[in-house]
Amino acid sequence: MNRGGLLPLVLFGVLVAFLAVGLTRNPREVPSPLIGKHAPLFVAPVLHAPSTSLSAQDMRGKVWLLNVWASWCVACQQEHPLLMEFAKRKRLPLVGLDYKDKREEALLWLTRHGNPYDVVVVDSDGRIGIDFGVYGVPETFLIDADGRVRFKHIGPLTPEVLRDRLLPLIKVLQP
């Protein structure tokens, strides 16, 4: 066998390996530069009591989940049952960020589908979303007691992500 003829095969093998790895990844996913950094310090009005507000500072000392959602977001309905399940376990505070939504429609949506959130805050112009690097709803952030973003999931939460990525991390942060 011609030794030189083996080289193109090897190179081809390398290309195939790259392709195989590449195909398992999602090209549309934009990794968050916020991981490990402090979450943006927001102050936002509470949906159910607009005269009051919640700030990121209020959550210091707690490990919590921030779920960005909206009544107009169809994909949010996909993860909703999972969030309801998760909320029942009372493992962590779950804060909802109502993103670029109308108050009446958000309230209606929660009444109709159920409210898994401990508190819902309103981001009507999307300004808070920009600070969090939100580009597609729903998005979920895990924030530690120090106020740092430890994990971000883009798209609806799935049982696999919850089980394999989120819960182990939560166990580490809050034993």
Partner 1 sequence: MKFWIVFWLTWHMVLGAQAAQAPELAEDPMLERRLLGISDELRCLVCQNESLAGSRADLALDLRREIRSLIRSGKSDTEILAFMVERYGDFVRYRPPFTPVTWLLWLGPFVLLVGGAGVLVHLARSSPSSTDPPVLDGAQRARVRALLDDTESAP
Contacts of 169 (CB under 8 A, 6+ apart): 142, 150, 151
From candidates 13, 33, 50, 114, binder to partner 1 by CB under 8 A: 33
Q: Where are the beta strands (DSSP E) in the chain?
A: 43-45, 53-55, 64-69, 94-99, 119-123, 139-143, 149-154
Q: Tell whether residue 93 is a contact of partner 1 (CB under 8 A).
A: no
Nearest residue to 124 via CA among 49, 39, 44: 44
Q: Tell whether residue 100 is a contact of partner 1 (CB under 8 A).
A: yes
Q: Which three-class secondary structure state does DSSP give residue 169?
A: helix
Smallest separation, CB 135 to partner 1 (Å) = 4
Tokens of 160: 């696999």
Smallest separation, CB 170 to partner 1 (Å) = 24
Q: How many CA atoms lie within 13 A of 19 on its CB side?
A: 6
Question: In terms of CB distance, is 72 or 82 closer to partner 1?
Answer: 72
Q: Tell whether residue 132 is a contact of partner 1 (CB under 8 A).
A: yes
Smallest separation, CB 126 to partner 1 (Å) = 5
Q: Tell whether residue 136 is a contact of partner 1 (CB under 8 A).
A: yes
Question: In terms of CB distance, is 25 or 90 closer to partner 1?
Answer: 25
Interface residues with partner 1 (CB under 8 A)?
28, 30-34, 100, 125-127, 129-133, 135-136
